[in-house]
Structure 1
């Protein structure tokens, strides 16, 4: 019996601005399947360098937004018909961008509005800029994040400074942004794999929708392990990820993805689910699936998206977690902190373990304000 492809959920991933477009390129390079990739930008030259399936130039000049969110917003509003056209037919839309610049910060909320009007389940996975990017960029990012709230079903914010905690002083600027792109990719893949790949335990779009729709703030955790007790270790890494700013025990819903090679066993999926369940609220609705990925070989990967936090509880948990981390650092020997750092770096981004060597940050901060045509070979934001 054959089924029409229209029965499958249509998932579109939209990279907005330079940061979002770079994230889309990396997802495509890593063969993230089951979705259509779209790049939206005010910068015509940067858009030409995108590998996205579809590209939309917004605004009238094609010269970028000049790091001005109002310009990015205006450009998206003027090009709303073109944006609506590429969103048509989508069941689920991911919007990715690096907050703090002009295009992503200003245009993402407009795109989210249009997606919701089209009836799409809408998830934004965005990054908060590194501290070294400056106060102005940080302030613009906060405004952009606040503007996104209420316009998407689910908002996942990744603080780039957390990536520095699992990097070392020799990490290049390019590799730092690759780390950020990997986080965005993990959030998208954690959902799309559950829907589009065959698995031991499959989820349908309605399952995913029940956790994500109108869920507000969300947290993303990612862990990978091999060898003995690999499922338990990967799950523990996911719930204790340094990229999570607060505990997951306040979540009302948790989407859990366990991925492994052909040797993935059902009891291992159960082990991972039990670790997550024991770390969350008894009232939490946990929906999980298990995906078979031929490329995983002897490894198991666990991705969690925890949703349904109340804003006040979410913010207070973030503050408490930061205070606890500060206290731990004050009483921990430097050697232990470095050992923890190494373990986190290896477990979350193993593919970059050997590649994060090179020049120090130092004078590279100024690159963020260099025009695209001068920095295009650096592939930065």
Structure 2
């Protein structure tokens, strides 16, 4: 009798550079299962602190184990010099996550090299990286943008998490240490939201082929995370996910959506249906929506929803312009005609104006013109009350800013 074959998907998570290695340390700490962790760095001392399954000290001759000095070119060359070693540890993988903190040296320069090797081996390759905080300086920001552009060319799907958006969901007293820990937590959520669907037996199961159908050659992707307790918890978590402050753009128009719902053993099918329906209404009408539900009793009465949207026309999602003006009064009655019949308005997701924000400002003069008596000239109205009378503007203010 033949020995049984191992048909489980082989998933490897590569953390490259200081930020990437910190991120996989966090994943190991919380017990992310079913994956192999690989830490790659030019800083030998940082590697000693990692509990990764495999550790690669690259650029030993180039940097003598002392780091890349925030120079992406050094990081790229270090990875290239150890290409055969990287290829050896990635062999046999069905899916490879490449995670890094963009803006430094090793991660920024080396991540595209690792991704290129992974794809050449036939693995579904997903980049999950952070854009640096503004306080880290203009130089790191510029290096990060170049690194992101280079990585986008080498991966099937790229998820970019803007660290600055973490500030909008953090307390004003948050320490720098906690801010970076939050960034690691979001990187964890991005990887876990995908791997759990494949590796954890669920209420609604997914396999590797399901995930691949959404993420293969999908280009730029967006990730939103939401969690809620109590009444309508699944619906509330889904709304949070699709209007998440972490989203730099709207999921409106996404042709591929991965929806992960996690909850305790009391998670109901009706709740899952409500969440999935909300997300499907926010995506493209013909989107391929793959969703799974994972039972995790450790969550108690909490429901977590992770949405990863990809497959946008032109490869890039439509940008969201977040209005800094916060308006507390309710929307005026004429708002009804402005709202599309087929899409709900949750934050900036699902409204027509979210995809053409340039139009929303031109409507300041148009909207009052439709009222019965408005003697104020159109050119004066935007100056005196730029946001009070416009229903379109009201729709553009996300719920979490109201």
TM range (shorter): 0.7 to 0.9
Shift of the 86–195 alpha-carbon distance from structure 1 to 2, 3 Å rule, reads: same
Q: Which residue of 2 aligns with 1:280?
A: 283
- 8 Å contact 1:125–1:156 — kept in the other structure? yes
Deviation at 1:170, TM superposition (A): 1.1
Structure 1 distance, partners of 2:3, 2:162, is 42
Structure number with higher helix proportion: 1
| Correspondence list, 1:245-284, <5 A | 245-284=248-287
Q: Which runs of 5+ in 1 are unaligned?
A: 334-343, 345-381
Residue by residue, what CA displacement relative to the aligned partner does 1:278-327 show, whole Å, maximum 9, x if unpaired? Answer: 2122111111111111211111111010001234752xx22xx12xx13x
Q: Which residue of 1 aligns with 2:127?
A: 124
Q: Which residue of 1 aligns with 2:33?
A: 33
Deviation at 1:261, TM superposition (A): 1.1
Structure 1 distance, partners of 2:326, 2:157, is 36
Q: How big is the alpha-carbon RMSD for the aligned residues of Structure 1 and Structure 2? A: 1.7
Residue aligned with 1:169, SS: coil
Shift of the 4–262 alpha-carbon distance from structure 1 to 2, 3 Å rule, reads: farther
Q: Which residue of 2 aligns with 1:43?
A: 43
Structure 2 distance, partners of 1:301, 1:4, is 36
- The alignment status of 1:104 with 2:107, answered yes or no, reads yes
Structure 2 distance, partners of 1:71, 1:205, is 35
Structure 2 distance, partners of 1:55, 1:307, is 31
Structure 1 distance, partners of 2:94, 2:29, is 24
Deviation at 1:138, TM superposition (A): 0.4
- 8 Å contact 2:15–2:38 — kept in the other structure? yes
Structure 1 distance, partners of 2:327, 2:246, is 20
Q: Which residue of 1 aligns with 2:219?
A: 216
Residue aligned with 2:75, SS: helix
- 8 Å contact 2:218–2:315 — kept in the other structure? no
Shift of the 4–40 alpha-carbon distance from structure 1 to 2, 3 Å rule, reads: farther
Residue aligned with 1:288, SS: strand
Provide the TM-score with structure 2 as the length reference. Answer: 0.79
Number of aligned residue pairs: 326
Deviation at 1:331, TM superposition (A): 4.2
Q: Which residue of 2 aligns with 1:300?
A: 303
Structure 2 distance, partners of 1:106, 1:289, is 35
- 8 Å contact 2:220–2:315 — kept in the other structure? no
Provide the TM-score with structure 1 as the length reference. Answer: 0.83
Q: Which residue of 2 aligns with 1:183?
A: 186
- 8 Å contact 1:250–1:313 — kept in the other structure? no
Structure 1 distance, partners of 2:263, 2:209, is 23
Deviation at 1:198, TM superposition (A): 1.0
- The alignment status of 1:332 with 2:327, answered yes or no, reads yes
Q: Which residue of 2 aligns with 1:357?
A: none
Q: Which residue of 1 aligns with 2:201?
A: 198
- The alignment status of 1:148 with 2:151, answered yes or no, reads yes
Structure 1 distance, partners of 2:132, 2:260, is 27
Structure 2 distance, partners of 1:208, 1:3, is 28
- 8 Å contact 2:219–2:316 — kept in the other structure? no
Shift of the 232–33 alpha-carbon distance from structure 1 to 2, 3 Å rule, reads: same
Residue aligned with 1:330, SS: coil
Say which is worse superposed, 261-270 or 100-109, in terms of deviation.
Answer: 261-270
Residue aligned with 1:250, SS: coil
Residue by residue, what CA displacement relative to the aligned partner does 1:119-172 show, whole Å, maximum 9, x if unpaired? Answer: 100000000001110010000000000001120000000111111111233110
Q: Which residue of 2 aligns with 1:6?
A: 6
Deviation at 1:262, TM superposition (A): 1.3
Q: Which runs of 5+ in 2 are unaligned?
A: 329-346, 348-402
Say which is worse superposed, 102-111 or 241-250, in terms of deviation.
Answer: 241-250
Structure 2 distance, partners of 1:224, 1:31, is 20
Structure 2 distance, partners of 1:291, 1:4, is 27
Deviation at 1:6, TM superposition (A): 2.0
Structure 2 distance, partners of 1:332, 1:29, is 42
Q: Which residue of 1 aligns with 2:57?
A: 57
Residue aligned with 1:277, SS: helix
- The structure with more radius of gyration: 2
Structure 2 distance, partners of 1:266, 1:303, is 17
Residue by residue, what CA displacement relative to the aligned partner does 1:70-100 show, whole Å, maximum 9, x if unpaired? Answer: 0000000000011011101110000100000
